[in-house]
Structure 1
């Protein structure tokens, strides 16, 4: 049951990521020269989201959380990149789980 739902969600995500065409003879070469917004989630906005998600992954993995919590946060951000990132930054209590810096203070 769960496998069917996950497969359907995966196929729906693939369908949404398909290139946009006008339904006619348009090819990639005739669609226009500005390809920044090509496809769903691509371009500059997609790159910004990717960079921010990678920063969240690094921060979560370097934190002093239990491994199960790290896995849960990484799954949330991986499955829901924008919403998961916002939830992490708003509700994760980041200050309490920061690791100390690489250097220890001198006595």
Structure 2
């Protein structure tokens, strides 16, 4: 069960990083968001979708 959760978190993180790279933000903000997602694998994607992503 733990492996499945870890795999799901990894997949979500990869999808969020792809979404960040495709966004129209400047490069510095993209790098900061990617660092946030890498170091905060659960909280990072949540913050991206509520704060960082353009509406």
Report if TM-score (shorter chain) is over 0.5.
Answer: yes
Alpha-carbon distance in structure 1 between the residues aligned to 2:22 and 2:48: 14
**TM-score, reference length from structure 2:** 0.89
Segments ≥4 residues shifted beyond 4 Å: none
Q: How big is the shift at 1:80?
A: 0.6
Distance 1:93 1:62, change over 3 A: closer
In the alignment, structure 1 segments of 5+ residues that lack a partner are 1-35, 38-42, 96-107
Higher relative CO (Cα under 8 Å, sequence separation at least 6) belongs to 2
In the alignment, structure 2 segments of 5+ residues that lack a partner are none
Alpha-carbon distance in structure 1 between the residues aligned to 2:53 and 2:20: 11
Please report the RMSD computed on the Cα atoms of aligned residues, expressed in angstroms: 1.1
Q: Paired residue for 2:13, among 38, 53, 68?
A: 53
Alpha-carbon distance in structure 1 between the residues aligned to 2:20 and 2:39: 15
How many residue pairs match? The answer is: 55
**TM-score, reference length from structure 1:** 0.48
Larger C-alpha radius of gyration, 1 or 2?
Answer: 1
